[in-house]
Amino acid sequence: MPPEIPSHAIDRLDDDDYPAYTMGRAAEMIGATPGFLRAIGEARLITPLRSEGGHRRYSRYQLRIAARARELVDAGTPVEAACRIVILEDQLEEALRLNEELRGGTDR
């Protein structure tokens, strides 16, 4: 019988912000290079957490952001501009969500 997985470990599997992926695995998952991940980190699009050994670790949320930046770069957008576009898209999405939340609250 396999060992039981602790509940706190299962919670981490569902956590979009848990830094579960190494740089190599993260790059592989989004079809990029570790250099690309370093570049978008330097542009401050994402800030990976560091393991106890100092290695970069990425969350699923960060990988979605990185994948969007990669799409823009693949379409010919410079890295710095792609990062700014992704940041603005994220801010717009959040503003629209808050606006909808506030509108829903006033209709009651």
| The pLDDT of residue 91 | 96
The tens digit of pLDDT for each residue in 48-92 reads 999 999 999 999 999 999 999 999 999 999 999 999 999 999 999
The tens digit of pLDDT for each residue in 6-31 reads 555 556 667 899 999 999 999 999 99
Distance CA 101, CA 23 (A): 36
User: Is the pTM value of this prediction over 0.75?
Assistant: yes
Residues 83 and 69: beta-carbon distance below 8 Å: yes
Distance CA 50, CA 7 (A): 24
Mean pLDDT, residues 27-47 taken together:
96
Question: Torsion over CA of 18, 101, 91 and 70, rounded to 10 degrees?
Answer: 60
Domains of the chain: 7-107 (1.10.1660.10)
